[in-house]
Amino acid sequence: MQRAALPPSDRSSTDRFSMPAPASAFTRRRFATLLSGVAAMSPFVVRAQDAGRPLRIIVPWPAGGGVDTFARVIQAPLSAQLGQTILIDNIGGGSGRVGTQTASRAQPDGNTVLLANDTLAATEALPIPGTASVRSAFTPVTLAASAPQGVFTHPRSGLKTLADYVAAAKARPGALNVGIPGIASSQHLTSELLLRAAGNATVAHVPYRGGGPLIQDLIAGNIDAGVVTFAAAAQQAAAGQLIALGVTTAARAVAFPTVPTAAETVAPGFVQTTWMGVLAPKGTPDTTRARFHTALLAVLKDPAVINRLQTLGFDAVGLDGPDFAKLFEQTITTFAGIAAERGINAES
């Protein structure tokens, strides 16, 4: 079994589904190609909620990661759509498990939802005894966005390209320290999928509580590289603090056209796109979920939001709950397979 190295600056830290990335910001047809028989979006009308009660969106990662970045983009326009104050509650730890478990215990009254990425599928594929099953604790509401995972390094590492990264991993198996937002996170499993596709290279994965702490350690040079949702480190790469070596989507990110894909450099045909979605505690009324979905869908169609998301490397999607559930199941299958092959479990 491959053991993950301990992070140099956070020794206590613990912090996908293969689908083609949309070519434009709101292209459900690309997802329909993947999922035969995709049903039409439910035409519910948004109704006002109690403006006196804030909506709590639990993000199971610390501030500064990809999911948190997405949450901050949609916070104000979604609040306007719902007529309700929105609070972003970052609860990191355990590869997203701590925040997810907190959300699972919330009252199903529509005032608490979980915004998470495909690491949810990893936690379902690799369960820890005593923790609630995502399937049994939540109902999918909206698959909101997709994004590439990115491989990043710092300018002093000597790595200039994804080919350099793979070559170094092959030349010194297990010597490269590569940060990930938690053991068995989607980034961890995506990294393993990429290393396998590039010729079974091996690195030492270093777990963090989330993308934010990882990025700070990478900038400081405490690790050699990191795999995070591209949006989490895009600004640091643009500022020259980090180097983006490659992305995992089928096509280059619209906002970062100079960053090559893994498929065109080290792993022909490789595609691994991360997703972000909203889930409600099981028992939340259908009408309440539909109201939220309709409001979020309106936000994701807003040209200003689309543009902002694209500049960060996201593509707005907007699949409804049933189609989100299908993607979730497919992601579980993908992650369970690579975890079994590489000897990874939630407590590795």
Residue 9 predicted with pLDDT over 60? no
Q: Distance of alpha carbon 245 from its chain centroid, rounded?
A: 18
| 263 located within any domain | no
What confidence tier does 95 reach under pLDDT thresholds 50, 70, 90?
confident
Taking CA atoms, 25 is separated from 65, 239, 257, 302, in Å, by 20, 24, 15, 10
Domain membership of residue 143 (yes or no) is yes
- Dihedral through CA 70, CA 71, CA 77, CA 82, nearest 10? 140
pLDDT at residue 20 tops 50: no
- Angle at which helices 303-311 and 66-82 cross, to 10°: 170
What is the chain's mean pLDDT, rounded? Answer: 87
CATH code: domain of residue 280:
3.40.190.150
Q: What is the pLDDT of residue 2?
A: 44
Q: How many domains does the chain have?
A: 1
Task: Name which of 239, 228, 241, 242 is nearest 313 in CA terms.
Answer: 228
Tell me how far CA of residue 110 lies from CA of 113, 222, 285, in angstroms: 7, 42, 8
pLDDT of residue 177: 98
* Cα–Cα dist 65/51, whole Å: 29
In a domain? residue 189: no
Q: What is the pLDDT of residues 24-64, one digit of tens each?
A: 434 444 444 334 333 333 333 344 445 579 999 999 999 98
Q: Has residue 304 been placed in a domain? A: yes
Q: Which domain holds residue 57?
A: 28-147+276-342
Question: What confidence category does residue 162 fall into, taking pLDDT thresholds of 50, 70 and 90?
Answer: very high
Q: Which has more pLDDT, 131 or 158?
A: 158
**Is 174 within a domain?**
no
166 in any annotated domain: no
In this predicted structure, the answer to whether residue 4 has a pLDDT above a threshold of 80 is no
Residue 24: the pLDDT is 41
Q: Helix 321-342 and helix 186-197: axis angle, to 10°?
A: 60
d(Cα 296, Cα 314) in Å, to the nearest integer? 15
Tokens 């309440």 locate to 288
Amino acid at 230: F
> Which of these, 148, 139, 137, 59, lies nearest to 325 by C-alpha position?
139
- Per-residue pLDDT, averaged over 151-165, amounts to 98
Strand duo 112-117 + 273-281: pairing: antiparallel
Confidence of residue 164 (pLDDT cuts 50, 70, 90): very high
Assigned domain for 307 exists: yes
Residue 202 falls inside a structural domain = no
Q: Report which secondary-structure segment, H or E, holds 59.
A: strand 55-59
Q: Spell out the residues 6+ positions from residue 244 whose beta carbon is closer than 8 angstroms to its own.
A: 150, 151, 152, 230, 233, 234, 237, 256, 259
Q: How confident is the model at residue 109 (pLDDT cuts 50, 70, 90)?
A: very high
The Cβ of residue 26 has, within 10 Å, a number of other Cβ atoms equal to: 19
